[in-house]
Copies of this chain bind each other. A is one copy, B any other.
Amino acid sequence: MNGLTQDDLALLRQNPVFAGLKDATFLQVAGSVTVQTFPKHNLIFQAGDRASHFFLITSGAVQLFRSDTDGVEKTVNLFRRPQSFGEAVMFLERTFPVSAQTLQESRLLRVDAAPLMSLLKADPEIGLGLLAAMSAHLKLLVDEITLLRAPTARHRVAEFILRQVHKLEGAATFDLPYSKTAIARRLDISPEVLSRTFAGLRKDGVSVKGRTVTVADIGLLYRQVGLDNGS
């Protein structure tokens, strides 16, 4: 053991760098992760240091900063749990372009580049797997943003339905993938509004009975939402 808690492992696992790894590979890498705690205002690394590792924050706060020629510190970025920093530079095998210091007492997970990079270089498939996972993840997030930027609850719900339906026109029936409360949370609306919105969509041929949703005319729904289904 290296002192990592369950929480630490979960945090690592959901970091983009690790999310795409297979369990076995992940555990292998996690084995070399170490916990470091720093007091307030402690330097973590300095601009110009070799980026032989990156950090994930479990508590506290870290400031990335640049020291001007005249010694004035200019903060570039501020990170907190569950953010990580330094990984991009690590992948690039460069030196840190900025310095990092804690703003509070902080607990960090230090991920050394060596084990990860040697895995990546020994087995290119791992790197490709990471690329695959990251691009898939990016797609999901872009979709999520599209959904959240929809102007009204009606639009969000309709978009959500249209994504479940996987068709451009005609009729369709499908089951909601999870509870309505959870869907409401995901769409960032209250459960009440979700319920009302479903009710309001009834006159447009959307009927919801329990978890089963039936759409009479998908094309109509596209038009309702102001999207173009291309037809």
Q: Which residues of A contact B (CB under 8 A)?
A: 16-17, 59-61, 63, 75-78, 80, 83, 87-89, 91-93, 103-104, 120-121, 124-125, 127-139, 141-142, 144-145, 148-149, 163, 166-168, 188, 229-231
- Chain B residues within an 8 Å CB radius of A131: 17, 91, 127, 130-131, 134
Known: A76-B166, A230-B80. A128 touches B120 (CB 8 A): yes
CA distance A17 to B142 in the complex (A): 14
State the oligomeric state as a number of copies.
2
Across the interface, do B78 and A132 meet the contact criterion of CB distance under 8 Å?
Answer: no
Across the interface, do B132 and A91 meet the contact criterion of CB distance under 8 Å?
Answer: yes
- Chain B residues within an 8 Å CB radius of A16: 134-135, 138-139
- Chain B residues within an 8 Å CB radius of A141: 138, 141-142, 145
Across the interface, do A88 and B132 meet the contact criterion of CB distance under 8 Å?
Answer: yes
The 4 tightest CB contacts between A and B, nearest first, are A75-B166, A91-B132, A88-B132, A141-B141
Across the interface, do A167 and B124 meet the contact criterion of CB distance under 8 Å?
Answer: no
Across the interface, do A78 and B166 meet the contact criterion of CB distance under 8 Å?
Answer: yes
CA distance A124 to B122 in the complex (A): 11
